[in-house]
């Protein structure tokens, strides 16, 4: 016998409110307080109530809506002008278009568990993609105890109880460094803020490659930098002015690599004659840099499809399983071989 569908009257009764209040809450009316809305939206999901029909009609009637939320602070700059964000958004957007879904970019920038919880309970999207873990690993673990409708773009970390999708950062960092070593580079800089989970793993790959090649891991060559061109340029400029010898740079992102290239060129340092540079991300601008940037590619199309599938298709333990995407080293002019 088929299950009797939940009516608006049933939902209102379970929530302990009037039918009109339940209806206004489903329509996100400002006349209903936020706590009541959250309770009714949660109950509607639990009872499989088709509340999407109460939502304002969009231009094409999407089959689902996915919300993208960018935590703060994180290894990457939270500004949406970061080229990597566009690459990720394109991957998710293309996957959503294939699935006839809408994508919503939230203005919310969570910095705590309460912020994450609010981001999950004050919307009516079918799922949420959080871009980056920042320092919220523990908060995401706590959120996973009650919420299953989210996936995080980021690293896979010890004792993780939530689903994350991201590239194999350790292998990516190792391959970038090994390439410079094969070119005969021995004093290789790591450029990036290694406190960020993804960058920390790229740094581990960098150190592994140096140690495997019998090269010393020199703390003077580990250069912190925020994820913007100006910060990277200033960091490399200071390295040159201080007379620290180096012949290669592994940058934790393409944006950092762009800043490094600018600093080297302004100082009259030949790239790749004197210094070879490798980035990470393979953003669209990388091939148009001067010289064109060697970089580690992350497959954003595959990432978008996988994250959408995690949110829309899977149920049970499989939905919680984190997955790593393979990386590929794209060799261009900035390495000279």
Q: What is the mean pLDDT of residues 19-38?
A: 85
pLDDT tier at 75, thresholds 50, 70, 90: very low
pLDDT tier at 51, thresholds 50, 70, 90: low
Q: What is the pLDDT of residues 188-237, one digit of tens each?
A: 999 998 778 999 999 999 999 999 999 988 999 999 988 889 999 999 99
Q: Do residues 302 and 325 lie in contact, with contact meaning Cβ atoms separated by under 8 Å? A: yes
Res. 57: pLDDT tops 60: no
Radius of gyration from C-alpha coordinates of the chain: 23
Res. 77: pLDDT tops 50: no
| pLDDT on residue 55 | 52
Q: What is the mean pLDDT of residues 70-90?
A: 74
Q: What is the mean pLDDT of residues 295-315?
A: 89
> How far is it, in rounded angstroms, from Cα 26 to Cα 99?
24
> How far is it, in rounded angstroms, from Cα 255 to Cα 232?
8
| pLDDT on residue 270 | 96
């Amino acid at each position: 016998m088929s299950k009797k569908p939940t009516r608006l009257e049933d939902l209102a009764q379970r929530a302990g409110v009037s039918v009109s209040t339940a209806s206004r809450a489903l329509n996100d009316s400002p006349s209903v307080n936020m706590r009541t809305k959250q309770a009714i939206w949660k109950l509607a999901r639990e009872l499989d109530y088709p509340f999407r029909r109460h939502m304002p009609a969009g231009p094409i009637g999407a089959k689902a809506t996915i919300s993208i939320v960018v935590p703060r602070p994180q290894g990457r700059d939270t500004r949406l002008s970061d080229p990597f964000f566009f690459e990720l958004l394109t991957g998710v957007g293309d996957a959503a278009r294939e699935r006839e879904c809408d994508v919503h970019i939230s203005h919310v920038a969570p910095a705590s568990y309460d912020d994450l919880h609010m981001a999950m309970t004050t919307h009516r999207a079918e799922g949420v993609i959080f871009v980056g873990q920042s320092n919220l690993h523990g908060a995401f673990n706590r959120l996973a105890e009650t919420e299953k409708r989210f996936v995080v773009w980021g690293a896979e970390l010890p004792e993780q109880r939530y689903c994350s999708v991201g590239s194999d950062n350790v292998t990516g960092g190792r391959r970038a460094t090994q390439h410079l070593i094969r070119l005969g580079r021995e004093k290789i800089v790591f450029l990036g803020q290694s406190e960020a989970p993804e960058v920390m793993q790229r740094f581990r790959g960098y150190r592994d490659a140096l140690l495997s090649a019998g090269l010393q891991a020199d703390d003077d060559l580990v250069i912190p930098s925020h994820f913007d061109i100006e910060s990277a340029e200033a960091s490399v400029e200071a390295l040159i002015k201080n007379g620290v010898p180096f012949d290669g740079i592994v940058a934790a992102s393409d944006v950092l690599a762009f800043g490094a290239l600018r600093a080297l060129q302004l100082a009259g340092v030949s790239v790749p004659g004197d210094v070879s540079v490798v980035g990470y991300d393979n953003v669209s601008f990388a091939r148009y840099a001067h010289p064109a940037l060697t970089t580690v590619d992350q497959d954003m199309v595959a990432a978008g499809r996988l994250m959408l599938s995690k949110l829309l298709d899977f149920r049970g333990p499989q939905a919680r399983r984190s997955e790593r995407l393979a990386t590929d080293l794209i060799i261009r002019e900035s390495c000279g071989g």
